[in-house]
Structure 1
Amino acid sequence: MNNRTRRLAILASAGLLLAAFYLYRGADDPAPQAPSEPSGQTQQQPGEGKTQQQKAAPIAKEAKTGAAITAEEEQNGMYKKLVLEVNGVQKPFDWSNVTSPSYLPEMYALDMNKDGKDELLVVLTTGHGTGVRESRVHVLDPEALTETAVDNPLETIRKHMKTAVTDDGIDIAIGAGSSSVRLDRQAFTSEPANWFDELGFGSIVRYEIRNNELVAELPAQLSPADFIGEATLTYSYRNGRYSPYRLEFTGGSASMMLPVD
């Protein structure tokens, strides 16, 4: 084979190798695709694509003000981090409520401070069980979503009501003795050994609306298993807050009522 023939053979071999190389690359790299025709669907733009979280369903509503409450968290039988929404305006509160359908939040629209405008009352249940119900109440301006303080009914009972449990019965006084009564021992069937030294209040606290007024009800406990009456406190707006203005006690044959300051 002369030199010219040898050079032609080398060039032919190189050409075959180069063609094989491009065929190999073409198998790995797909050919460019022509632009697709519009499908009629909205195309995702750069920076988009995060799916918005589905809005939580309300756990309570109030028709008159359009208020609704949703919960950001649910764990261990409790709704937590509640969000109040009125007319599209939302505000989170560090509130909680049990998840039991029988004890979901309650809301009322009521002119509590007698200014001609309704306030929004929110009643929450934070615990419940046999002989137990823990409740909280909040009063808000439904436009500004600002809250006005509500006095704890237990503080009013401690201040204005004195009780003493003896072997002979139960002595109850409201307002420094201005109204008092004795409940005879014979009215109760439980063992005196299980009686408290004084009536207990606070294991059950209920709130409701009566005659367009906020009312707190606290059953009176003689022993862990015995409730023998009830203290009822009626609220009004005074000095920039909501405070009880009347304290009543009913139990057995006793019925007492006294204005409180």
Structure 2
Amino acid sequence: MKKILTASALALLIAGCAAAPTIDSISAAAPLTLSVDGQPVLPKLHPFHSGEILYVPARVLLEYYPVELKWDNTRKKLTLTDNSSRTILSPGRSAMQVQYTQTDGGYEDSLEGPVLLKEGHVYISAGAVSSLTGAEAKLTASGSAVSITSGDVSTSVRVPAEPLAVAAGTSGKVKLYAARKDGSTYKGFILEVNGRKHSFKWEAPRLGSYPPVLYYADVDNDGKPEATVVFSLGTGTGISLEGVHVVKPEEWKELAVPAAEKVASAAVTSKILLDNGDVVVRLELAGPAPSKVTLRLPGRAGDGGLNHFGTQVGIGAVTHYQVANGKLKAETSVNAGIEESMGTLMLDYKAGSGGLNLDSIRFEPYDTTKQYVEKEQ
């Protein structure tokens, strides 16, 4: 006897098919693998293509993003909750609903493809990964894997496969890794020297254009090289600051290094005065080789006088560190007033009580201010 579908049963079948997307178009090629920040994750959940759209399991968000996932099996909805909002994803819908937790506001944002439910797991498009977290999900060059590079909102505690910095001349044996990322800040690093690793609770901004710089040289002259890490702490108009850490890897001991701007401020006395319509800047540098420098800015007294230039120079708006010729060196700027940059203080460090201390300091005018140098001793 033939089975005949009633009109109502047929309607239910059609409605059921429309309620959730089919997976018939998914490629039957070898399963794709998934990695986050260079490390394999979720080996049992594979990304796939549905038509032209690349999908990844929503659970991958937990690998790097500060979010809670909660599945409502009755309503067939996945809720993502972070510190400021709730995002609702519904299989079959090409949109996400965002509700702010602190206010009654919210919005709906479209996605490049519908959310999919496959074998009990929710999958979202690669574009949704970017929309939700700022991360980038894409096929690797081989086409056999999907790589997710976490964005500024990542809180990954994973040590990336690729280091942030490698010391030159060490054949890759001295490396620096991020141990934890929290928003736009690195909170913790791992230093590797000759196969040995150690964690440090240093913090630094995550500035993609200004990655850390790593050196490996004997800066305290004890016959053994130290690892020196230089971080960019921030940049802006007329401002560029760096921080430095020096580590003896044999015992993972960090040497104290006073900040260049503080060392320079303690070693330099200054005075700015007016003289017959000119602005005169006088510097006295202490240290093993004391020196004096005078710069005369002709006709500048009328540009606001001491209200503009101040009575003493400013030190440290721009500070940079490097290791060269076996020494830790620093440069920090000298300003008269807010925007009048006179030149740079050049510092060398040496081994001292408790770490590294100032060895020498000298002033170098800029090419544009050499003409104002009146007297040097």
When normalised by structure 2's length, the TM-score is: 0.49
Would the aligned equivalents of 1:97 and 1:125 in 2 still touch at CA under 8 Å? yes
CA distance in 1, matches of 2:271, 2:193: 47
Aligned-pair identity (%): 26
C-alpha distance in 1 between matches for 2:376 and 2:205:
34
Q: Secondary structure at the match of 2:318?
A: coil
Q: CA deviation at 1:250?
A: 2.0
Q: Whole-Å Cα distance in 2 between the matches of residues 134 and 87 of structure 1?
A: 30
- Work out the CA distance in 2 between the residues paired with 1:185 and 1:120: 43
Aligned partners of 1:239, 1:165: CA distance in 2, in Å?
A: 34
Q: Distance in 2 between matches of 1:143 and 1:181?
A: 43
Q: Max radius of gyration: which structure?
A: 1
Moved more, 246-255 or 115-124: 246-255
Tell whether 2:184 aligns with 1:77.
Answer: yes
Matches within 5 A, 1:66-215: 66-168=173-275, 169-175=280-286, 179-186=291-298, 191-192=304-305, 193-215=307-329
More helix by proportion, 1 or 2?
Answer: 1
Deviations along 1:38-96, whole A, 9 cap, x unmatched?
A: xxxxxxxxxxxx98986424211225171222223334433222222234433222212
Q: Secondary structure of the equivalent of 1:229?
A: strand
> How far has the Cα of 1:204 moved from its partner?
1.4
Distance 2:293 2:208 in 1: 40
Residues 159 and 178, structure 2, Cα contact 8 Å, conserved in 1: no
Partner of 1:238: 352
For 2:166, the equivalent position in structure 1 comes to 61
The 1:256–1:119 alpha-carbon spacing in structure 2 relative to 1, beyond 3 Å, is farther
Task: Report what 1:20 is aligned to.
Answer: none
Unaligned 5+ runs, structure 1: 1-49
- Aligned partner of 1:14 in structure 2 is none
In structure 1, C-alpha distance between the alignment counterparts of 2:249 and 2:239, rounded to whole Å: 31
How has the CA–CA distance of structure 1 residues 188 and 96 changed in structure 2, closer, same or farther, with 3 Å as cutoff? Answer: farther
Q: Which runs of 5+ in 2 are unaligned?
A: 1-41, 44-62, 64-156
Deviations 1:196-239 (A, max 9, x none): 22111122110012332111100111122221111111111123
1:248 is displaced (CA, Å) by 0.3
Q: 1:88 to 1:211 in 2, by over 3 A?
A: closer
* One-letter amino acid of the counterpart of residue 294, structure 2: R
Moved more, 70-79 or 145-154: 70-79
Letter in 1 for 2:196: V
Q: Kindly indicate whether structure 1 or structure 2 has the higher relative contact order, using CA contacts under 8 Å at least 6 residues apart.
A: 1
Tell me the SS of whatever aligns to 2:222: coil
Tell me which residue corresponds to 1:25. none
Cα contact 1:86–1:143 (8 A) shared by 2: no
In the alignment, the residues of structure 1 paired with residue 215 and residue 252 of structure 2 have an alpha-carbon distance, to the nearest angstrom, of 14
Q: CA deviation at 1:140?
A: 1.0
Is the 1:167–1:185 contact (alpha carbons within 8 Å) kept by the matching residues of 2? no
* Aligned amino acid, residue 67 of structure 1: V
1:106-151 CA-partner distances (Å, limit 9, x unpaired)? 1111112222221111111121222112211111112322111112
Q: Counterparts of 1:8-27 in structure 2 under 5 Å?
A: none
Q: Find runs of 4+ consecutive structure 1 residues off by over 6 angstroms.
A: 50-53
2:334 to 207, 220, 227: 220
With normalisation by structure 1, the TM-score equals 0.69
Cα deviation, residue 159, structure 1: 2.5
